[in-house]
């Protein structure tokens, strides 16, 4: 069965700049671009009323779900990277590696970001009415299928909530094969795994309120992003947490919690990674000595720099440079 273009719905979900670049019998590939990079979305129909999308973004910000869509559920799984969604009330929620989110597209969002400038994952988009009819037809053939999409909606997305389930083995089991399934078996895997996912959500409990902080306020996030920009522009300097807290006028505990919420790791680990990535770039693109590069990324002692570089890159700076000559 040929997959319909459905360009109006895709523009509602992802903004007016999305366009078709490949259209085949079983899938359609869309591309979106902005000043920060590009994103590719590969769309498949699994059942009538249920579609699966592979998302591959290399950008910092994208338009997404600017217009609410009635009775449409979106289930997102993050394979790699990080996704930030901002709501009209000023709250922001985050999806990290291995996390699963269930959201109704009646919820209007004001902005979407990829804090790590890349994101890879899967979306399952469900038209509740059409998919419910499909499940009824499948149950007539397969026997009892205890899947009630409206009950899943009410349990996980009641009062307009976006339900985020943090990474767990059961979720990983469902999605892992979708990322590696051979092309000739994909359609079969899609059907099996989507039904497995819906059965999992049927049994899943909504995360308890207060179990883990999932939302941060927009003004806090703005401070954290400004702080990150300042630190990455001054890699030669090391800032204490107290200096950052005072300098950016944010309580120390809130600063640490919000930074990890936005970027998925601690301030120290994030900056350490930035320093090594910047050093690797200079090793590839300049003739600066290891000692000079070490100083530029905040190391007065080149031996300590080499040790830190090897820990992240699995080779010394000299080995890294020679390998890429």
Give tens-digit pLDDT for 218-239. 999 999 999 999 999 999 999 9
**For the whole model, what pTM was predicted?**
0.84
| Residues 218-323, CATH architecture | Orthogonal Bundle (1.10)
Give tens-digit pLDDT for 16-41. 778 899 998 889 999 998 888 999 99
pLDDT of residue 205: 81
Domain ranges in the chain are 7-203, 218-323
Q: Span 121-150, mean pLDDT?
A: 94
Give tens-digit pLDDT for 171-223. 999 999 899 888 888 889 999 999 999 999 999 887 655 444 468 999 999 99
Tell me: domain 7-203, CATH 2.60.120.10, correct? Answer: yes
Write out the chain in H/E/C secondary structure. Answer: CCCCCCHHHHHHHHCCCCEEEEECCCEEEEEEEECCEEEEEEEEEEECCEEEEEEEEECCEECCCCCCCCCEEEEEEEEEECEEEECCCCEEEEECCCCEEEEECCCCCCEEECCCCCEEEEEEEEEHHHHHHHHHHHHHHHCCCCCCHHHHHHHHCHHHCCEEECCCHHHHHHHHHHHHCCHHHHHHHHHHHHHHHHHHHHHCCCCCCCCCCCEEEHHHHHHHHHHHHHHHHCCCCCCCHHHHHHHCCCCHHHHHHHHHHHHCCCHHHHHHHHHHHHHHHHHHHCCCCHHHHHHHCCCCCHHHHHHHHHHHHCCCHHHHHHHCC
């Amino acid at each position: 069965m040929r997959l319909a273009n459905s360009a109006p719905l895709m523009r509602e979900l992802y903004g007016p700049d999305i366009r078709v670049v490949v259209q085949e019998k079983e899938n359609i590939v869309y591309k979106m671009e902005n000043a920060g990079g590009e994103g590719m979305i590969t769309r498949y129909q699994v059942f009538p009323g249920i579609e699966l999308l592979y998302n591959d973004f290399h950008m910092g910000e994208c338009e997404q779900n600017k217009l609410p869509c009635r009775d449409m559920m979106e289930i997102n799984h993050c394979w790699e990277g990080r996704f930030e969604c901002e709501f009209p009330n000023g709250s922001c929620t985050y999806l990290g590696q291995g996390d699963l989110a269930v959201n109704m597209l009646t919820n209007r969002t004001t902005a979407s970001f990829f804090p790590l400038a890349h994101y890879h994952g899967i979306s399952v988009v469900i038209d509740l009415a059409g998919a419910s009819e499909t499940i009824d037809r499948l149950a007539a053939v397969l026997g009892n299928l205890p899947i009630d999409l409206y009950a899943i909606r009410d349990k996980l997305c009641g009062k307009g909530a976006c339900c985020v389930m943090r990474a767990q083995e059961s979720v990983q089991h469902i999605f892992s094969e979708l990322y590696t399934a051979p092309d000739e078996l994909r359609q079969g895997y899609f059907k099996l795994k989507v039904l497995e996912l819906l059965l999992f959500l049927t049994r899943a409990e909504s995360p308890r309120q207060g179990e883990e902080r999932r939302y941060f306020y927009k003004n806090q996030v703005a401070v954290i992003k400004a702080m990150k920009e300042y630190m990455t522009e001054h890699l030669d300097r090391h800032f204490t947490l107290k200096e950052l807290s005072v300098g950016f006028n944010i309580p120390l505990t809130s600063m640490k919690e919000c930074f990890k919420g936005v970027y998925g790791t601690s301030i120290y680990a994030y900056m350490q990674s930035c320093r090594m990535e910047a050093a690797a770039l200079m090793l590839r693109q300049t003739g600066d000595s290891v000692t000079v590069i070490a100083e530029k990324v905040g190391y007065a002692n080149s031996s300590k720099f080499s040790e830190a570089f090897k820990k992240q890159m699995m080779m010394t700076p000299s080995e890294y440079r020679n390998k890429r000559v």
